[in-house]
Amino acid sequence: MKRIPFSSKLALVSALVGAGVLGPAACAGRSAPSSSSPMAAATAPDSVVKPPLAGILPHPAFAYAQAGGTAASIADIAEKAAPSVVNVASSRTVKNVRERMPFFLDDPFFRNFMGPGGGRQQEQEQKHQEHGLGSGVLVSTDGLVLTNNHVVDGADEIKVTTADKREFSAKVLGTDSKSDVAVLKLQGDTSGLKPIEFADSSRLRLGDVVLAIGDPFGVGETITMGIVSAKGRANVGIAAYEDFIQTDAAINPGNSGGALVDMEGRLVGINTAILSRSGGNMGIGFAIPSNMAQPIMKALIDHGKVVRGWLGVGIQDIDQDLASAMKLGSVKGILVSDVSDTGPAAKAGLKSGDVVMKLNGREVDSTGMFRNAIAAAGANQTVKLDIVRDGKPMTVDAKLGELPEKLGTPGAAEEEGAPSSLSGLSLGELTPDVRSKVELPSSVKSGVVVMGIDPGSPAAASGLRPGDVVTEVNRAPVEGVAKFKAQYSSAKDKVLLKVVREARTLFLVVKK
């Protein structure tokens, strides 16, 4: 299980649920009838064990859940799903290189006679085995297993143990590091395997009860229960493409690749990571939704890789300061900060500063959602974008390309030169030497480079960094430090800057 350290953006919140808050029907997202209501007795299924006294919950709470219109014990749901979850044990050879030295040279007396190098000989390569434990989910009768990429990454040998204690060797059919998904194929007689049924993860609601099944710490198959705490978690830093289900069901190291199931025993997610200070469960776990994992799995089986759609734009979320500075009217949609000269977006007519409101008729509420949707659409597909440009609504059709395997991410460097200070900013001219050091794209013809920033200044608060190249002030081009100073000084309360950073473009707002 991947462990994510706490950051300033994430906080740990404890919650207490008192007895009597949730009854059996509440587990299914339905209202439980009052015991005094005439409907209570009439609608209670015969299979439900009634509490001895009205208003008293069965013990333990959550013992029953509505599944498919009939009451089912959570134990029955767990019994249905558990045989589909497997243990995945991997081993990999790790090479270490160390210097080889004659045994007598361990004595400093002898080494003194050997001159420079002390008699050291060539480096010697040593190997040792590393072992890892994780979980996986059976998804077909012929032995296909869905798990996490990080569970099997770099493995030389993979052993899978099923719930009925059968052991199989497994072959990797395909992996996708960008989503942390992998597909394995069991070798040998796979008769009698019990694959899990997929559910539509988009139908999950906050508060729905879920079970997490896996092999934490290698102690054996374990089932824990919690609720769906959040959906659509992105920018967590686990994978390149994120749309996680967050749950408080106990997930620990070893649960990676295991199943998150709904109250009908169907797969809604693949448990992937935890947010933890200690390495153990602290109530914040993340799972890849089944609706995201399933098409990735199919692509890996069919093609051995995932072909994602590519629009060729830089995008960023819109906050109130940015909306005000750009006179957008609201924070809805996402901002196109940059457009690749040769990408599909440029061919479709998209421009930097456009605001995307809808994708194929669906409202766009975050960059994570938009990025995932473009990728999932696939190459050579045409998407319809509803945008706002300079306050005017427009519709653009764009034919997507294939996402390049590696997009350039050159790093910014600190610059040398004679800076000019302005409101906590030290700026320099965009000389050929500076352009080379920051690896500035040839499409950027003019601007100024940020040489330094005073801590606590408005510029620092805006998110500007040394090495950033400012190309626009309030949507007007910057043609040197003198021009920048004039543009900055003439602005009133807020200054909208267009910035190029590490081969990508973004907008920032500096409050004067």
As annotated, the active-site residues are 150, 180, 256
Token pair in block for residue 46: 């015969």
What whole-number distance in Å separates Cα of residue 422 and Cα of residue 436? 25
Token pair in block for residue 506: 């973004």
Please identify which residue in the block is written with the tokens 């994510």: 4
Instruction: Please report which helix (H) or strand (E) contains residue 75, including its range.
Output: helix 74-81
Q: b/e for 435-464, b at 16 or more Cβ within 10 A? A: bebbebbeeeeebbbbbbbeeeebbeebeb
3-state DSSP assignment of residue 465: coil
What whole-number distance in Å separates Cα of residue 501 and Cα of residue 410? 9
The one-letter amino acid code at 477 reads P
What whole-number distance in Å separates Cα of residue 441 and Cα of residue 439? 6
Instruction: Please report which helix (H) or strand (E) contains residue 484, including its range.
Output: helix 481-490
Q: b/e for 370-397, b at 16 or more Cβ within 10 A? A: bbbbbbbbbeeeebebbbbeeeeeeebe
Cα torsion through 443, 465, 506, 329, rounded to 10: -140
User: With the C-alpha atoms ordered 217, 222, 228, 229, is the resulting torsion angle positive or negative?
Assistant: negative
